[in-house]
């Protein structure tokens, strides 16, 4: 990940008579961009690229996950009610009979080859929960999909360990297409027993406290204490993304999380609009006001149409080697992002900044 040096003396955009108005105007412009970009079914465009810095390069790849992330970012944002309703309708339409979600929609050629996963399921469920809809995944099914240490498994697939009838009904149909399941795990970096930090954080963010949640909290806190973010998740290789996910899951449940995350972020310099947005929101969730440099850079990189440039949020994964570390990504590993997704993270950041002036960002 490339970095850039930010000037240390950037003025705070929230100081001055017209400063808060500038943030509000940027927020409204971004919401207008997303409103124009939302597709008729309620989803948003997503793109893949082999480049770490996607910029405006990429191939269209309709995916459920980016739309779920956008829906989460829009929670509580003024003038975004119609956007949230569209996202919720789309996610309900992609919900499986078992109450789970896949990375790709049913219309995608790769849908049948890809198992349902914890990440998509919990992010989609969180959006529906925020919308007041009781159509998210069943907690009992999610809790059944844990390893022996109490950590959430990434994939919903059948295994040798008995996990209850509900889990069996959700996963055993995959055995009707054994070749597809076998090829998925042979041709990708995924493994049936994957345990990933970002995925566990998203599960914890959806479920909150539950019997046994300390196992997940302790697992995630150990990653922060040991500084092992680089080997913590196959699918999130951007530390700003991972810190963002950890903050929103851990801060409400673990008093030591906020100072630890802020300490890990100290000295890390964002390199693009996405990372500036994530840094602002993460610090806000940890109780620290947005840094003037991050906020100024975020505002300065907004484009005339209200959007921010495309940047990769997650990617196709890395293999875990024998010593537990993750191997370097293959050069042709796809990365996902879009202007819409970056803009949604920026909307969340700007909304947090404005709310934090009145109360703590949720």
Q: What's the CATH code of the domain at 271?
A: 1.50.10.20
Question: Which single residue is written with the structure tokens 């690229």?
Answer: 49
What is the pLDDT confidence band of residue 13, given thresholds at 50, 70 and 90? low
* Mean pLDDT on 275-286: 97
Strand ranges across the sheet with 59-60? 59-60, 47-49, 335-337, 314-315
Instruction: Estimate to the nearest angstrom the gap between the alpha carbon of 211 and the chain centroid.
Output: 24
Question: Which single residue is written with the structure tokens 């844990």?
Answer: 146
Any domain includes 77: yes
d(CA 338, CA 146): 32
Number of domains in the chain: 1
- DSSP-derived secondary structure for 111-172: TTTS--BHHHHHHHHHHHHHTT-S-S--HHHHHHSB-TTSPBPSB----SS---HHHHHHHG
- What residues contact 361, with CB distance under 8 A and at least 6 apart? 281, 284, 285, 352, 353, 355
* Mean pLDDT on 24-29: 97
Any domain includes 250: yes
Q: Are the CB atoms for 197 and 242 separated by under 8 Å? A: yes
Q: Residue 243 is encoded by which pair of tokens?
A: 């810190």
d(CA 166, CA 180): 22
Question: Which single residue is written with the structure tokens 């970009």?
Answer: 37
* pLDDT at residue 290, as a whole number: 85
d(CA 127, CA 344): 14
Any domain includes 109: yes
Percent of the chain with pLDDT over 90: 84
What is the pLDDT confidence band of residue 16, given thresholds at 50, 70 and 90? low
Any domain includes 13: no
* pLDDT at residue 54, as a whole number: 84
* pLDDT at residue 2, as a whole number: 39
Helix 19-37 / helix 292-300 crossing angle, nearest 10 deg? 50
The mean pLDDT of the chain is: 93
Any domain includes 165: yes
Q: Is the pLDDT of residue 11 over 70?
A: no
d(CA 144, CA 149): 12
Summarised one tens digit per residue, pLDDT across range 66-109 is: 999 999 999 999 999 999 999 999 999 999 999 999 999 999 99
Q: Which of 6-10, 47-51, 130-134 has the highest mean pLDDT?
A: 47-51
Any domain includes 1: no
- Least confident range from 13-27, 134-148, 176-190, 213-227: namely 13-27
Strand (E) positions, the chain?
A: 47-49, 59-60, 314-315, 335-337
Q: Which residues constitute the domain of residue 327?
A: 19-356
Any domain includes 2: no
Any domain includes 104: yes
Q: Torsion over CA of 53, 58, 62 and 67, rounded to 10 degrees?
A: 30
d(CA 231, CA 118): 19
């Amino acid at each position: 990940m490339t970095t850039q040096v930010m000037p240390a003396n950037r003025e705070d955009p929230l100081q001055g008579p017209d400063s808060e108005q500038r943030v509000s105007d940027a927020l409204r412009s971004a919401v207008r961009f997303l409103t124009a970009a939302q597709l008729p079914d309620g989803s948003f465009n997503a793109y893949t690229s082999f480049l770490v810095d996607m910029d405006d390069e990429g191939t269209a790849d309709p995916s459920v996950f980016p739309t779920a992330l956008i829906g989460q970012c829009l929670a509580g944002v003024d003038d975004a009610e119609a956007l949230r309703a569209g996202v919720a309708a789309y996610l309900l339409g992609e919900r499986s009979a078992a109450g789970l979600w896949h990375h790709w929609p049913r219309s995608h050629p790769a849908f049948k080859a890809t198992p349902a996963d914890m990440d998509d399921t919990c992010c989609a469920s969180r959006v529906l929960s925020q919308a007041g809809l009781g159509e998210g995944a069943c907690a009992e099914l999610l809790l059944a999909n844990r390893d022996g240490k109490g950590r959430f498994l990434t994939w919903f697939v059948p295994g040798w360990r008995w996990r209850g009838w509900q889990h069996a009904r959700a996963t055993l149909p995959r055995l009707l297409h054994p070749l597809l399941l076998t090829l998925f795990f042979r041709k990708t970096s995924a493994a049936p027993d994957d345990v990933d930090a970002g995925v566990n954080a998203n599960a914890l963010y959806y479920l909150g406290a539950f019997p046994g949640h300390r196992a997940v909290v302790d697992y995630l806190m150990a990653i922060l204490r040991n500084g092992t973010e680089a080997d913590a998740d196959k699918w999130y290789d951007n530390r700003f993304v991972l810190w963002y996910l950890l903050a929103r899951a851990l801060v409400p449940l673990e008093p030591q999380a906020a100072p630890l995350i802020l300490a890990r972020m100290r000295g890390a310099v964002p390199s693009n609009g996405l990372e500036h947005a994530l840094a602002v929101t993460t610090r806000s969730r940890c109780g620290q006001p947005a840094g003037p440099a991050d906020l100024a850079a975020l505002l300065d990189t907004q484009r005339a149409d209200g959007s921010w440039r495309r940047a990769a949020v997650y990617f196709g994964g890395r293999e875990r080697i024998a010593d537990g570390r993750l191997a370097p990504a293959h050069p042709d590993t796809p990365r996902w992002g879009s202007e819409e997704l970056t803009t949604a993270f920026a909307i969340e950041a700007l909304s947090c900044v404005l709310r934090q002036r009145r109360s703590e960002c949720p």
